[in-house]
Amino acid sequence: MLSKGRYIVREAADAQDLLAAQRLRWLGFVGQRQGVRDLDAGPAGVDADDHDAACRHVLILDRASAQPVATFRFLHLDSATEIERSYSARFYDLARLHDFAGPVVEMGRFCVHPGHSHPDILRMAWGWMTRHVDAHGVRLLFGCSSFAGTGTQDHADSFALLRARHLAPRRWLPRVKAPQVFRFGRAGREDPADPRRAMAGLPPLLRSYLAMGGWVSDHAVVDRSLDTLHVFTGLEIAAIPPARQRLLRAVSGQV
């Protein structure tokens, strides 16, 4: 458990905790599209899939109310040769990453309650994951970063920014696997028309990945079931700047 300020981070301990995470995910991924902003005001929907059983689940709780304000799940793999077990591998051809040396972790289904937007929520999530990375010698974090909606023009500046500055090294670049994708990496490498708007339009988790030296695939998968566009995102731990590593360890309580 990680406790700091107004938030507590801990792993789900039982079926009740898992259900709380799945209900929060439903609110974040489905409920908001239906105008629901609070679980007590909407149907008892859940976001669940067959990958949940393979993962460990983390809850970020408001200390005062003990209610979950964010959640994510993660899959620890001792070797990248096991990466086909990941959720991301259902949508991307990750064969090039089989040669990545060391343990890797997939983070997924990161979701913040629509009524809570404090930046410490994301910081606490990274602090908790920093503990796991350091304890187990993890060398790569990866997952799918999602843009709301499936309209590519709605995110044109953000995709131009990713294309110009943040594409994966060719040796790790995922290949196309999903039936419907948006190949934003095929165009030129010009900067977005409005870099500030492009950065603001990125999902918060993706902005964090990129600030630490992360990279993305050259195409987005069109996910109709969740009404999202998502890009494969990787973060090599060795690439995180030393100053950022110190900040992460400070949040994690290791310094």
Report pLDDT digits (tens) over 25-80.
998 887 766 655 566 655 668 999 999 999 999 999 999 999 999 999 999 999 99
What's residue 35's pLDDT? 55
The 8-class DSSP code of residue 103 comes to: -
> From CA 247, how far away is CA 126, in angstroms rounded?
10
pLDDT digits (tens, 9 = 90+) for 227-246: 899 999 999 999 999 999 99
What's residue 189's pLDDT? 53
Per-residue pLDDT of the chain (255 residues; tens, 9 = 90+): 899 889 999 999 999 999 999 999 998 887 766 655 566 655 668 999 999 999 999 999 999 999 999 999 999 999 999 999 999 999 999 999 999 999 999 999 999 998 898 999 999 999 999 999 999 999 999 999 999 899 999 999 999 999 999 999 999 999 999 999 999 998 655 677 788 889 999 999 999 999 999 999 999 999 988 889 999 999 999 999 999 999 999 999 875
**Helices 204-211 and 119-136 meet at what angle, rounded to 10?**
50
Range of the domain at 169: 72-251
Residue 106 lies in a domain: yes
How many domains does the chain divide into?
1
Residue 20 lies in a domain: no
Residue 63 lies in a domain: no
Report the run of H or E that residue 173 belongs to, with start and end: none
**Helices 242-251 and 119-136 meet at what angle, rounded to 10?**
100
Residue 6 lies in a domain: no
> From CA 104, how far away is CA 45, in angstroms rounded?
31
What's residue 37's pLDDT? 58
Residue 78 lies in a domain: yes
Residue 134 lies in a domain: yes
Q: DSSP 3-state assignment of 17?
A: helix
The 8-class DSSP code of residue 6 comes to: T
Residue 49 lies in a domain: no
- What is the reported pTM? 0.93
Residue 44 lies in a domain: no
